[in-house]
Amino acid sequence: MPACRQNGLPMVKSGPVLHWILSAADLEARAALVDQFFALYAHEDNFPDENEREEPRYILQRIREGSDKPHTHLIAYTIDGRVRAGAIFEYYPLSACCMLTYLFVDKKARDRGIARQLIETDRERGIPGLVAHLREQGRPVRAVFFETNNPFLTPEGTDSMAPADRLTAFYKLGAKRVDIDYVQPPLDREKAPVTNLYLCTFPRLSGDVFLLSINTLLCFLVEFYHSLEALEGDLPRELERARDWTPGTAPGFATAAIERMYESLLRNDYAAAGVTYLKQLPRRERPQLVFGRASVCLEILVDESYYRIGVRQGGAAGYLPLSGGSGDPDPLSAHQQNDRFCVVTHSFETDLLSYAYQSAPPFYTRCFNFPGFREVIVRFPQTLAFVSEGRQEMLYVLADGEQQRHATVRTVPRRGGGGEIIHAVVKEIRLKVFLNYTYFFNSEIRIWHLVFSALEDTGIDEIDLIKLMKFFSGSQESKTEAEKVRELGKIKFVIPGREDRELDVIQLFEEMSGLRYARREDYVGEADLPDKPSIHAIRTGVVGIDTDYCRFTAVGEGDEQDRIREVLAQLFENLRSNEEGKKVSSADVQRQYARNKHAEYVFEAFCGITLGIFDYDRMGFEEVSDTLVPRSATESSFLTINRGVLSSFGYGDSVFAASVNTIGINPYLQIPSAVLAHNEYVVNDAFARSRAVLEEVMGDESVVDIRKLEASRKQIRQLLNIDFLPNVFQYPTEQDLFEYGLVHRGILERRKRTQANLEQIDHLIEESNASLDHRYQFWVNVLLMVISIFQIYEVVTSLITEIGGPRLSTFPVLMKLTVLLVLIAICVYIAHRLYRNSSVDSGKRFILRSRPAGPTP
């Protein structure tokens, strides 16, 4: 084959080839290749920031000299003899770490998988092969680091590749971020430190994919700074500090930047164990679906036997206690001056209830007084952290990112903790908002339904939908409940026209209702609830989506929007087959993915909504098939229950259409969900009371107040037998939702455990009654003995007097005294035996109080 020459390098038609340049001999033998390599390296399309790009002469000098400060290697990637990509790879022998210092690809050759071939797939001539080569030479490799731009600190357009796109590419290659406030030292005396970089690692190349030794990291930082002449202090002494560091000690590095980075490491998970947990690279939010008709209902449960209602009077500052009307079991109903009939919900609710509950329903639902606003602006934070399968993930948006019709990313001013003004990046969406409630008469529990509904002309995307669902779902993606509450507190709500005031979800409820709850001063019970309802009061919720109003965020070809209908039709058919017992195999799902390029994402997104999780795009065929198991499925819809979420997907839903502008969501979903939430709270309350009773009385030194024990038993029985609602529904779908929800949410299991505790309490009460009976019998026997002693004494003394006669004046007296003492001794002995017999079966002291015990005056 003829060859041509360009810049002195033979140009031969060939496929991709990777070339190693490791020594001065390689530089000389491949001089033309090296020239092309550094020409591409220095091109403005790769590293436009000169502070991030080391001068080639320093790199070449280290290779010629065989320097270990650090030992430097080049990998050139050629196609048809032309350098199209390259990597500069350094080895730091004192810390046994590597640094992928630079990775660059010709702009015309990007998106062809070249970076993946260099880093992952070519295990002979790529970076994995180079790592193996180092180990064969007896050089251990404990970690492979690299730097990449932080998208929050790097403005768009200032880098050769958008930082968000680069992070996405590295994410797919398995890279992870070291959670440290990283500062790159100046690359030479004429350059400045760089603070807009992440320090990252390829854990697959070195071993542990989750943890990194802090000693290894500190040693690398010391050696890295030394190689760039930025280390202050003696190298051996600083390395000794890094190697000898143990948790709980302060190394005291001479270099201020290293010391600050060390201090930032201490906030990380497992730092106390001497390691740091590697985090996933942040991913930019990239929603693909928009729902024009979708609603999320947050169920705020309030136990009004514990809380009293305050009604706003004369502005937002004053709330007056609400007292109920005479004969009305619901004080709020009396305040609203209605007979509990709601023109919006009454017909739905009556239709749902079975015949036995038509005339005397155990609850009622109504729309609350309509507030002065019907829309709300939701502000989501710039970043959203979550945990998935052991990985710490983060999604984010950028202030200068792409603006979409359904959402806006902007910067808003906020007041900091010290009163200063700070500017925060938020993602804003505008939604309709509704407020209604379901009140349960026997239990005095009111469940408020705070409903957020999409505006049809703008809609809501799948990621924002799941963000709202996080108020009642997806706890598996939070490290702790406290962290989940902290993250939810970052979601703010703004009433249009009042943009200067941000509200949390409870404040929004108070603003809409004009009500504020506070603890009752006269409450007597075992409940341990906060002074006012909080985010913890939101445990369950409902999601409804009309798929007729589903579209893609990116507008494609003319038939793209119609293809989603094909996907959903097949999905509904699959789910109906699942319900009928014909489980759809993963092979069936895979064939549908192949037929329609949108099917995979739509199926996964619906799984994410069903589960209330963000990490749905990792789901495989089997997991999709297992997750989308409906409780009810038709040709056009399906229902699922997962933990605290009741979700509905479908098209042509006339009930949803009829209620979307009144209560905001399908009442045939809202009411059954409220009954399940009510029963869950009632059973949990009963279980907590029963456990508290048993814990109080099971100690060896316990003093059991029988009246209190009986009162607790009565309360628990009331909760289980009266407050707990049976299946009150008329139709099979709602009946099945109720029965399945009781099992799926563990309500029936908790009820059984409460009943078992109740049996123990019954036994304790029987034991206490038996103990009291024994004690009563003991005192009766003692009284009979006293009477008997007097009778016996009278007979004996009379006999002694007759025997002794008048001549023995002292003998009768002594004999009488002796007899009396003997009788008293016998009486005491018998009483002691009776007392022991009355208490031998009980290790507790049972008391019967006529009034609550108080401090002794």
Q: What is the largest CA-CA distance in the chain?
A: 160
| pLDDT tens digits, one per residue of 179-236 | 999 999 998 888 889 999 999 999 999 877 789 999 999 999 999 999 999 999 899 9
- Domain assignments of the chain as residue spans, ordered by start: 12-261, 289-537, 548-670, 672-765, 767-847
Under 8 Å between Cβ of 626 and 575: no
Residue 495 CB neighbour total at 10 angstroms: 19
Mean pLDDT of 493-520: 91
Q: How confident is the model at residue 291 (pLDDT cuts 50, 70, 90)?
A: very high
Burial class (CB in 10 A: 0-12, 13-18, 19+), 605: buried
Mean pLDDT of 11-34: 86
Burial class (CB in 10 A: 0-12, 13-18, 19+), 475: middle
Q: How confident is the model at residue 594 (pLDDT cuts 50, 70, 90)?
A: low
Residue 317 CB neighbour total at 10 angstroms: 7
Write a three-state SS string for 413-427. EEECCCCCEEEEEEE
The amino acid present at 691, given as its one-letter code, is R
For residue 274, pLDDT beyond 50: yes
Percent of the chain exceeding pLDDT 70 equals 83
Q: How confident is the model at residue 852 (pLDDT cuts 50, 70, 90)?
A: very low
pLDDT for the residue 827: 75
pLDDT for the residue 123: 84
Q: How far apart are CA 857 and CA 855, in angstroms?
A: 6
pLDDT for the residue 175: 94
Write a three-state SS string for 734-755. HHHHHHHHHHHCCHHHHHHHHH
DSSP assigned state of 722? I
Contacts of 151 (CB under 8 A, 6+ apart): 162, 163, 164, 167, 282, 284, 396, 398
pLDDT for the residue 350: 92
Residue 787 CB neighbour total at 10 angstroms: 10
CATH class of the domain comprising 12-261: alpha beta
Q: 324-338, 716-730, 787-801: which has the minimum mean pLDDT?
A: 324-338
Instruction: Pick 567 or 444 by higher pLDDT.
Output: 444
Nearest to residue 447, comparing CAs of 392, 505, 526, 368? 368
Per DSSP bridges, beta strands 645-650 and 538-546 are: parallel
Per the prediction, the chain carries an average pLDDT of: 84
| pLDDT tens digits, one per residue of 701-749 | 556 678 888 888 999 999 999 999 999 999 999 999 999 999 999 999 9
pLDDT for the residue 577: 62
Mean pLDDT of 618-644: 78
